[in-house]
Structure 1
């Protein structure tokens, strides 16, 4: 439309915003004055993306008795599709039928496209079948949508039917099918169509390649991926940015980090999509430090990193133990002016939960509320999980209750939270409620409810749920379910029964199962079964120092110092060291990390002094340090000194020094909390009148008034 006509349509548009009869007449007067017909006005409004005005004028035409031409109807149908307004579109379809325009091929094609956009495949197909000679665009659109919906049989049937009708399907048609099959999970058919396309003499282009590569990986066919890469080189498709990104993604998923980097380095010009694929690929292969370094390089080079770039990096850090780095990246992202979205927040929140950064998690929650994404089901599920890991089950449940829509992940997140906190009855209630609400449990749901039974010591209830998996729900027990049952039996001291269950398992027991037995043996100081479990673990996980430490603990509890030395020598010969105890505590929006025996914290002198005073008060009340598992055969006084350096004690005392009296404390421990620290923190909670939350690798401990929620079993 000519530039000088635009002011006229701005005036007309202004009149139409009130949508009254008078305003429509005024708008019509402007149109008549300019010498433009109503039909031309409708088409112009559609070109200007004022689709509501186009439909309003069409309705006005009909009320004035003006019969529209066949070329106006496709424009109005397009407007209904864009708004979207399916109901109005169906009315336009009815008008086309009664007015005789229903047999017009252009009108029919526009209706086919409209119904496809609303996923009304049957309606689209009914109209398509009445077309005397369907065009390639309409045929391709219908075929592509069938493929995208996973209708393999219908797609192929329509594909061959259109060819029989003489429609010459082009590259776009084939690419639509390949992309559609890949999107719907019909990966084999996507690859098959790619092969047929190539064998039929039609050369695949960059879109074909970038569409089929994800399907190749999902089918675990790396050799075909390499062949496609060869084709890319041969056809000179290397400069295609989408192809490069798809190749990097493919090699990343195939754990071919060097090939992935090589494809990236051969690029003539940096592209943000390829950069994102490289960062994700490095992280996926455990090279998160390399990913961080590459990301910083891109940033330093002035690369226009988008929300996908930042979100990918935040997710990588969150999934690979770089939680503090994830929080820092989120802060930098906003400083750079990149707005987080509904994908960023669920990627960030696990990092907040991992180190109990409650204030950061609350800030992310507030951000999601301000930006209208808190109702997103994935954001809601991540919030449930974050609050649970930060010890705030009431907030977790509130987030769950306020969700307008819930999926299985939402239910499982709440279930896992209750199980982690040892709230067995609440977990069982939620498990039953989800079924009453029509949500079928999956293997994760059963893992959560079995874990809850284990935490609560409900052996018989656990057996009932375990047996009901296959009997009532058709879910075969997995390794993790057997591990839960071994823990459940171990808690009640039924170690021989747990061992018998392991020997009768239909699956090969893995490190989770043997680890559950070894942990139970540590609790009950069972040397014989502990040695059996440890031997199997040494075979399965020869480089895991935790298993050696557990066996050492069992020996130390029985004062078997020769055996303790033997395990220590075994670790030394294999180059293994005990993982240092590490605890995190968030104080005034800053996360502090304390290592066992480390004196580098600036407040360490005050921490030691405060801990010494607390120890004196404890001894006055009859406290005796639990030194039976200190792995050195040293004097009792030295053992007590070793216990004083445990990271969870240091973190709790740091919290006491830097928060107001009565303020609750939240600590995260990277290992299982020891018996002595558990007793000390129970005393501190009573003496200091504090509620103290400690999350270790096993569960959540809520200390209040000298009592722990775990019932002294963990």
Structure 2
């Protein structure tokens, strides 16, 4: 017969032990069963047990049950008050929390810390800081738990000033020896922009744990001190996933994506570690940046095989990877099939970018239109997509919609729109964007200010470009100086561009490759051959910048325009890289200007070897033969063009009047006001001939009668555009004409006379530079 079991002794310790077990298991039903047992055993008057029960209810989310117990307690200890206070604070019920806090008979460090923790938990970091200040004011002793939490608040708001004061309290209260406190200090200084002090704290620590090392690795990676981060990483005897993530994410954030993927590969060799969502988001981002579609697919397969419960960040990263690497349809399928409803505008914008990258505007616009909450990134992506695909009017229209109904444009949006205005040479649109930048406060942005310099310069307003540059002189980056130097060079102000470059060097601002393209171009347009040669040597020998094809083209142009054709040819022959189309095209153009048939033949042959259907090579050679009155060879070249199906690029000129662009070709008979335009041009032609203008009939490269040649010259596209501008604008209005080809000798001479005749400034932008015609003179000084 089985012996009777001994009765279980129900004691306060027994119940408290099992309550702790229920709390660890997060089992509310078992906890309530213990509560029932406590009542049956008559232990409900035990303050110790009531505190344990209240703590259990508070931490399992039953705050109302906790508060009911609190109200029933015969005696309330500090623990009782702090438990119910912490329960309300952590749930964000601050009205109740503050009421309890104010009723506590003797508030201790735990009471104050409970409020700080609650504010932190709900993201109300400024409230947490104010609570801490009150705590200090009331001379309440600090604990390490208080300090770690308030330092987390400072890190969140990047409050370096208050963080430093808290550091002084840490030292005063002797808490700096706690590893958790030191770790919090490092984190606060790192996130608040003071890496040097973070390093001082790190070096002063006697004991360091894995959290300390991870924090310093993250800090070094954040500051691009990769060697220090990797050295510390390699010294670690124990690494966790956070350690690896710090290295991988750091490389990825600084676009060192090959290194990020290499570290990820090494991590996978450690069988004890598995990547988490942070790892996957970083490596997928690296694949997207490198456009490594196959590797991205392998990582996606790894996610599926291992049944990862992917986060929103990983979902967005997957879509970005596919969209950016050419797998845009896969990205779209992931987005459509995703069960994660939280995939946000980042995913849609990534898909939008993917279609735009492929030039698929229609599906991109559908995605854009389907977005419910379009942020500034989505708007900007669509605007940039239109611009990159040459749909400038669509970009302008979308920008207007953004102003009316969308978010406030940021500096990237405005810079993109300034690029559109620059391409269209639309001064009116550019001025409107300038006004938007002023209203939004983005005008001081480097990208916007540089965009404004370029826009005004390309619209022919070099003085406005100078004003923008002068306004940002306290914040001039290399790119700002470069933009201004290039602008001055394009407008024929070579001496000013060189003076600005010299000032730049004096101030210790280091020029880059593009700066030297600008200054060499300035020397070219000003005919300063020796100056150009000295800057070329300065670039190579002092600034250690290896010349690119653009620099070589500038030097060829420098020699060629000055008539030093043999020197230009010798330079081409000694180039360490194969001359490209631009190099030979520039040399051929110089040969045509200086009528050197032999070298022109060589240049044309070399150019056509690289690009057999280059119409410019055929046209330049044919025109050169014509200029030398070698009509037979000119005819042969033109026949060769016809046989090969090569079409000569047609010359166009255009002018913008009241936001509308008017396009003209030579002998244009399609404009609605053609009769008035031709009548005006006839009148001008006769008047400037009376002033001494002699038509340059050699500019007509065909064997025709002189009278016929003169009629052809009369109706060149830029002259028609000027005539239309004169009949369409008030007196004294500056005319701005754009042309896709180089202005011919006759038009250049005629426009000088016209500017004097009508008393207006006429600005012409041709394929190579700006010409400012005023009072019978041109800014290029007839050197172009």
Structure 1 length-normalised TM? 0.86
Contact 2:754/2:776, CA 8 A, preserved across alignment:
yes
Question: Alpha-carbon deviations, 1:469-489, whole Å to 9, x = none?
Answer: 223322233322222222222
The answer as to whether partners of 1:548 and 1:567 remain within 8 angstroms in 2 is yes
Q: Which residue of 1 aligns with 2:325?
A: 250
Select between 556-565 and 118-127 the one with higher mean Cα deviation.
118-127
Q: What pairs up with 1:576-655 in 2 under 5 angstroms?
A: 576-655=646-725
Q: Deviations over 1:589-611 (max 9, x none)?
A: 33334444554433333222222
Q: How does 1:54-73 map to 2 (within 5 A)?
A: 54-73=128-147
Equivalent-residue separation in structure 1 for 2:355 and 2:595 (angstroms): 43
1:146 aligned residue: 220
Q: Give CA deviations for 1:608-645 in whole Å, capped at 9, x if unaligned.
A: 22222222323333434333343544444444444444
**Residues 1:504 and 1:39: Cα distance change in structure 2 (over 3 Å):** closer
Distance 2:195 2:92 in 1: 43
* CA distance 1:573–1:223, change in 2 (3 Å): farther
Q: 1:371 aligns with which of 424, 427, 440?
A: 440
Q: Which residue of 2 aligns with 1:351?
A: 420
Partner of 2:555: 485
Structure-to-structure mapping, 1:36-185, within 5 angstroms: 38-46=112-120, 51-121=125-195, 123-125=197-199, 127=201, 130=205, 132=207, 134=209, 139-162=213-236, 164-165=237-238, 169-170=240-241, 172-185=242-255
1:334 and 2:408 equivalent? no
Alignment partners' CA distance in 2, 1:548 and 1:334: 48
Q: Quick check: 1:419 aligned with 2:489?
A: yes
Change (3 A) 1:328 1:548: farther
Alignment CA distance shift 1:98-1:272 (3 Å): closer
1:297 equivalenced with 2:371 (yes/no): no
Mapped to 1, the partners of 2:208 and 2:542 lie a distance apart of 54
- Residue in 2 that maps onto 1:268: 336
Aligned 8 A contact 1:280 1:312 in 2: yes
- Structure 2: runs of 5+ lacking an equivalent: 1-87, 339-343
Structure-2 separation of matches of 1:420 and 1:674 = 18
Write out per-residue CA displacement over residues 72-92 of structure 1, whole angstroms, 9 at most, x where no aligned residue. 222322332233332321221
Listed one character per residue, the Cα deviations across residues 652-679 of structure 1 (whole Å, up to 9, x for unaligned) are 2222222110011112222212222222
How many Å apart are 1:703 and its aligned residue? 0.6
Q: Does 1:495 align with 2:565?
A: yes
Residues 363-420 of structure 1: CA deviation (Å, up to 9, x unaligned): 1111111111111122111111111212222221221121131211101001101111
Structure 1 residues 540 and 196 mapped into 2: Cα distance closer, same or farther (>3 Å)?
A: same
In structure 1, distance between residues paired with 2:373 and 2:96: 39
Go from structure 1 to structure 2 and tell me whether the alpha carbon gap of 1:554 and 1:281 turns closer, same or farther (over 3 Å shift): farther
Q: CA deviation at 1:262?
A: 5.1
Counterpart-to-counterpart distance in 2, 1:303 and 1:552: 59
1:74–1:107: 8 Å Cα contact kept in structure 2?
Answer: yes
- Equivalent residue of 1:583, what SS? strand
Contact 1:670 1:697 in 2 (8 A): yes
Which has the larger displacement, 317-326 or 78-87?
317-326
Mean alpha-carbon deviation: is it higher for 122-131 or for 698-707?
A: 122-131
| TM-fit CA distance, 1:689 | 1.0
The whole-number CA distance in structure 2 between the counterparts of 1:674 and 1:598 is 17
Question: CA 1:653 to 1:317, structure 2 compared with 1: closer, same or farther past 3 Å?
Answer: farther
The alpha-carbon distance between structure 1 residues 139 and 536, as it changes in their structure 2 partners (threshold 3 A), is: same
Q: Secondary structure at the match of 1:601?
A: coil
1:213, 1:250 within 8 Å by CA — same for their partners in 2? no
Contact 1:355–1:668 (CA under 8 A) maintained in structure 2: no
Q: Deviations over 1:483-534 (max 9, x none)?
A: 2222222222111221122112233222222111111112112211111111
Structure 2 CA distance, aligned partners of 1:47 and 1:134?
25
Deviation of 1:53 after TM superposition, in Å, equals 4.9
1:695 aligned partner: 765
2:588 to 518, 525, 535: 518
Q: Is this contact kept in 2: 1:355–1:585, CA < 8 A? A: no
Q: Distance in 1 between matches of 2:747 and 2:100?
A: 83
Structure with the greater alpha carbon radius of gyration: 2
Q: How big is the shift at 1:696?
A: 1.3
1:393 aligns with 2:462: yes
Gaps in structure 1 of 5+ consecutive residues: 13-28, 252-258
SS at 2:176's partner residue? helix
**Cα distance in 2, alignment partners of residues 476 and 528 from structure 1:** 32
Compared with structure 1, are the counterparts of its residues 318 and 134 closer, same or farther at alpha carbon in structure 2 (3 Å cutoff)? same
1:675 aligns with: 745
Alignment partners' CA distance in 2, 1:280 and 1:553: 45
Aligned mates of 2:92, 2:599 — CA distance in 1: 90
Residue number in structure 1 paired with 2:775: 705
**CA displacement at 1:184 relative to structure 2:** 2.6
In the alignment, the residues of structure 2 paired with residue 494 and residue 577 of structure 1 have an alpha-carbon distance, to the nearest angstrom, of 31
Match of 2:633 in 1: 563
| CA apart distance, 1:180 | 0.9
Which piece of structure 1 moves more, 595-604 or 105-114? Answer: 595-604
User: Superposition RMSD on alpha carbons, in Å?
Assistant: 3.2
Partner secondary structure for residue 435 of structure 2: helix
| Higher RCO (C-alpha under 8 Å, 6+ residues apart) | 1
Counterpart CA distance in 1 for 2:201 and 2:174 is 15
State the SS of the aligned residue for 2:741. coil
SS in 1 for 2:475: coil
Cα distance change of structure 1 residues 330 and 400 upon mapping to structure 2, 3 Å threshold: same
Partners of 1:600 and 1:142 lie apart in 2 by 71
CA contact (8 A) 1:356 1:389 kept: yes
| C-alpha separation in 2, matches of 1:595 and 1:332 | 34
Please state whether the residue corresponding to 2:634 is helix, strand or coil: helix
CA spacing shift, 1:234–1:34, aligned 2, 3 Å: closer
Segment of structure 1 superposing worse, 526-535 or 104-113: 104-113
Task: State the 1:345 CA deviation.
Answer: 1.1
Question: What's the secondary structure of 1:102's corresponding residue?
Answer: coil
In 2, Cα distance between the equivalents of 1:622 and 1:100? 94
* Residue-by-residue CA offset, 1:195-239 (whole Å, 9 max, x unaligned): 122333445466544423554576686764565466567667899
**SS of equivalent residue, structure 2 residue 695:** coil
Q: Is the 8 A contact 1:144 1:177 kept in 2?
A: yes
